[in-house]
Amino acid sequence: MSGGFFLLFAPRCSLYSYYKIEKKSNRLVEENKRLLQEKAALEKEIDLLMHDKTYLEKVAREKYGMLKKNEEVYYLDPQAKNK
């Protein structure tokens, strides 16, 4: 009986320890898959930014509010009339 107990609960060599390690390993494999997908998406965006002028312009305008020469932006605030 004590041998079975030892196999179930002994530190670093028990079935419980194996289960915990296996669970952690599965979690790390899933995280690795997610990170590889994220890396691929970032590599694609880098390629677009380096080689696609239209995409670069779109990002510059939307994300950073950049304008072309002789362009003006007008912000219309409907609540400004009431003040």
Q: What is the pTM of this model?
A: 0.61
Q: At a CB cut-off of 8 Å and minimum separation 6, what does 17 contact?
A: 10, 11
What's the confidence (pLDDT) of residue 11? 64
Confidence (pLDDT) at 4: 61
* Confidence grade of residue 15 (pLDDT, cut at 50, 70, 90): confident
- Tokens representing 63 are 């994300």
Judge whether residue 6 has pLDDT over 80. no
For residue 58, how many C-alpha atoms fall within 13 Å in the half-sphere facing its CB? 7
Please check whether residue 55 is in contact with residue 48, taking contact to mean a CB–CB distance below 8 angstroms: yes
Q: Mind listing the pLDDT tens digit for each residue in 18-65?
A: 888 899 999 999 999 999 999 999 999 999 999 999 999 999 988 988
